[in-house]
Structure 1
Amino acid sequence: MKKPQLIKLAGILAFLVLLLFAFEVSGLRDNFNLSFLRNTIENNVFWGLLIFVVLFSVGNLIQIPGWIFLAAAVITLGKFAGGLATYVAAVSSCLVTYGIIRFLGQDALRGLESPIAQRLFQRLDRYPISSIVFLRMIFQTVPILNYALALSAVKFRHYVIGTLLGLPIPIFIYCLFFDFLALHVFALAPQ
């Protein structure tokens, strides 16, 4: 890997560490829990959902698992409305992460000279949408996937289409799972 790409990656790492540090020191990271998210949505659906989308986006950048957001939405709104809210928040989160990481690092991963990396890039270049759909179905909104795709020089439109098509099935499955847990294990019903 060449020096300019290493500098870009170091800059991204520094940005993410500073962002995480800021959230830890400010105490805001403590608000990324099921109870807080549920209360936020319940208190005012419109503003609560807007805050939900923003928190999901920030949470994705600082490594907060997406299932916390999904569980809060399903428990609060039910599996259909909660799933839709999570889908919108997850797509928004992926787009925000793509924009920030792409801005900071452009195509820094293309400097990897590994034969494995080159094969992966060839596959991504040849089948960008289907590759992203497959990755989303397996890894959903995992931050490292978002970072890798943003730094791989994949086109924005391919990223968007792959994300839009790849997230519904896993979100639907998780909605059913969390709805089952809420109703049958924890005896919680959506409000």
Structure 2
Amino acid sequence: MSLKRLFPIILLIIGLIIFFALGGEHYLSLETLAMHYQNLQAFTQQHYFLSVLIFMLIYIIIVAFSIPGATIMTLLGGFLFGVFFGAIWTILAATIGATITYLAVRMAFAESLKHKASGSIAKMRDGFQKNEFNYLLFLRLLPIFPFFIINIAAGVLGVSLRHFFIGTLLGIIPGTFIYAWVGSGLGFALEQGHVLNLKIIFSPQILLPICALALLSLVPIIYKKLKNSRTLQDNPHKE
């Protein structure tokens, strides 16, 4: 395994270390967004396309380097650009960032680790072998595994670039729109002068998207119950 093949992975790891060393996690919080919301909103209104470019670039970096903060950025997208465009810019940026991670992992490890994978990645191997695109779409639609784990697994297991990009792009649409909806509601609350606390949850602009998010989070549980029920029907004597 040459240094040339490992270089993208090394670069991503160094970026992640630098992020935490500089205390970057403190900037990706609801408190920080609430504190600077008016300035961010004013800048967005004055320089819309530049704001979109900066937002997408930061989002791509966060996803590519597997930095915890994508959820906050999706909320920010809803804050600044509204539900529809906030979700659109987020979907594009998240897909590009995920593809960067996937390509880096595939370049470095796909051939050497494909048959040695263990844990979560090993669980995905059979699914990818049966139907690569549909399984990836399924993983993106149902948040069973963390987003960055799927990026890494797809690279290790040699998923095709076309299937990875399109499956990611389509699969993250529902969740992204819901989070952008929540972010838009938080933006409305801040415009009304509310403090980000539990009381604002009961406003319709916040409560409705949170209910939708709760329903989305139940999908993996329902899926597992249906799968277990089907398994018991196929194997009634299995304990």
Alignment length (residue pairs): 184
Question: Is residue 158 of structure 1 aligned with residue 163 of structure 2?
Answer: yes
2:150 corresponds to which of 145, 170, 174: 145
Whether the 8 Å contact between 1:53 and 1:92 is mirrored in structure 2 is: no
The 5 A counterparts of 1:13-28 are: 14-25=10-21
Residue equivalent to 1:69: 73
The 5 A counterparts of 1:29-48 are: 31-33=27-29, 35=33, 39=40, 42=44, 44-48=47-51
Q: Aligned partners of 2:148, 2:169: CA distance in 1, in Å?
A: 16
SS in 2 for 1:106: helix
Q: Deviations over 1:14-33 (max 9, x none)?
A: 54442222234456665545
Residue equivalent to 2:196: none
Q: Aligned partners of 1:119, 1:25: CA distance in 2, in Å?
A: 33
CA shift in 2, pair 1:112/1:69, >3 Å: same
CA shift in 2, pair 1:119/1:101, >3 Å: closer
Q: Aligned partners of 1:54, 1:65: CA distance in 2, in Å?
A: 14
Q: Aligned partners of 2:124, 2:12: CA distance in 1, in Å?
A: 25
Whether the 8 Å contact between 1:137 and 1:169 is mirrored in structure 2 is: yes
CA apart distance, 1:156: 0.7
Question: Is residue 132 of structure 1 aligned with residue 132 of structure 2?
Answer: no
**What is the letter of the counterpart of residue 161 of structure 2?**
F
CA shift in 2, pair 1:187/1:129, >3 Å: farther
**What is the letter of the counterpart of residue 23 of structure 1?**
F
Question: Is residue 53 of structure 1 aligned with residue 56 of structure 2?
Answer: yes
Whether the 8 Å contact between 1:53 and 1:89 is mirrored in structure 2 is: yes
Whether the 8 Å contact between 1:109 and 1:148 is mirrored in structure 2 is: no
**What is the letter of the counterpart of residue 125 of structure 1?**
Q
CA apart distance, 1:39: 2.3
Residue equivalent to 1:178: 183
CA shift in 2, pair 1:39/1:184, >3 Å: closer
Using structure 1 for the length normalisation, give the TM-score.
Answer: 0.75
Larger radius of gyration: 2
Q: Deviations over 1:91-130 (max 9, x none)?
A: 1211222222222323444132659866632320221111
Unaligned runs of 5+ in 2: 194-239
Using structure 2 for the length normalisation, give the TM-score.
Answer: 0.62
CA shift in 2, pair 1:44/1:117, >3 Å: closer
CA RMSD of aligned residues (A): 3.6
- Higher relative CO (Cα under 8 Å, sequence separation at least 6) belongs to 1
